[in-house]
């Protein structure tokens, strides 16, 4: 798409008055530019029973645990408030040790836990047309669609993503037909802390992130 044809968005906003409205919205503001009837449509969707419960419990949890609860604690309390008992974990094989610890924590808190590693199925990469050179870091491909299907077969009520690769996580989210949240975002360079690259974009990571002009 031609850059000039892409409309301005929240990434271009210097006001950020969304949560504390002061009437100083920019001309391209998505709030003031909502299509006619869209707000009513959104409220109708949020009013659906499960969606409403998720929104209410998530907001209440944010309020009560703001800057106090870890992501693990938030996930546990969210699942408890939602009444979930069976939790699925879609994990990277490289994070299996961390997944075992998370599973132990969840089980000690009364949940049933079922995990599926990304290499389950042991399908050769060449089977789906992946370049041969990619086998140098492992013959078997990641299998996110199988992970999603297997968790659906088990009947999990909440799925947790543990460090699936970029793109593989996309397919898992696409085929996970139940409520899904993320515990770990994989970044082997920053020890799974991808925001470090963003914080360092004007410093140490500048040459890595911005194309040379």
Question: pLDDT, tens digit, for every residue of 51-90?
Answer: 999 999 999 999 999 999 999 999 999 999 999 999 999 9
Cα distances (Å, whole numbers) of residue 105 to 24, 58, 72:
46, 21, 9
Question: pLDDT, tens digit, for every residue of 1-35?
Answer: 455 688 999 999 888 777 766 667 888 988 888 99
Predicted local confidence at residue 83, as pLDDT? 98
Provide DSSP, 107-135. Answer: HHTT-EEEEEETTTT--BGGGGT--GGGG
Strands 158-162 and 86-91: parallel
Question: pLDDT, tens digit, for every residue of 180-193?
Answer: 999 999 999 999 99
Whole-model pTM? 0.92
CB burial class (10 A; 0-12, 13-18, 19+) of residue 13? middle
Q: Which domains does the chain carry?
A: 1-33 (no CATH), 70-213 (3.40.50.11840)
């Amino acid at each position: 798409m031609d850059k000039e044809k892409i409309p301005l968005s929240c990434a271009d906003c210097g006001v950020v008055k969304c949560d504390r409205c002061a009437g100083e919205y920019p001309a391209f503001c998505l709030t003031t530019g909502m299509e006619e009837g869209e707000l009513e449509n959104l409220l109708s969707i949020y009013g659906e029973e499960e969606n409403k419960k998720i929104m209410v419990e998530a907001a209440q949890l944010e309020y009560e645990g703001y800057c106090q609860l870890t992501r693990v604690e938030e996930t546990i309390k969210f699942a408890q408030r939602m009444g979930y008992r069976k939790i699925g974990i879609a994990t990277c094989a490289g994070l299996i040790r961390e997944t075992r610890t998370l599973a132990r924590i969840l089980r000690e808190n009364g949940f049933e836990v079922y995990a599926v590693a990304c290499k389950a199925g042991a399908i050769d990469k060449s089977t789906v047309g992946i370049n041969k050179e990619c086998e140098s870091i492992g013959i078997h491909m990641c299998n996110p669609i199988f992970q999603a299907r297997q968790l659906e077969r088990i009947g999990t009520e909440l799925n947790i993503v543990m460090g699936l690769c970029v793109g593989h996580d996309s397919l898992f989210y696409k085929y996970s037909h139940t409520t899904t949240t993320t515990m770990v975002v994989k970044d082997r360079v920053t020890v799974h802390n991808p925001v470090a690259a963003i914080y360092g974009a004007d410093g140490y990571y500048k040459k890595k992130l911005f194309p040379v002009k």
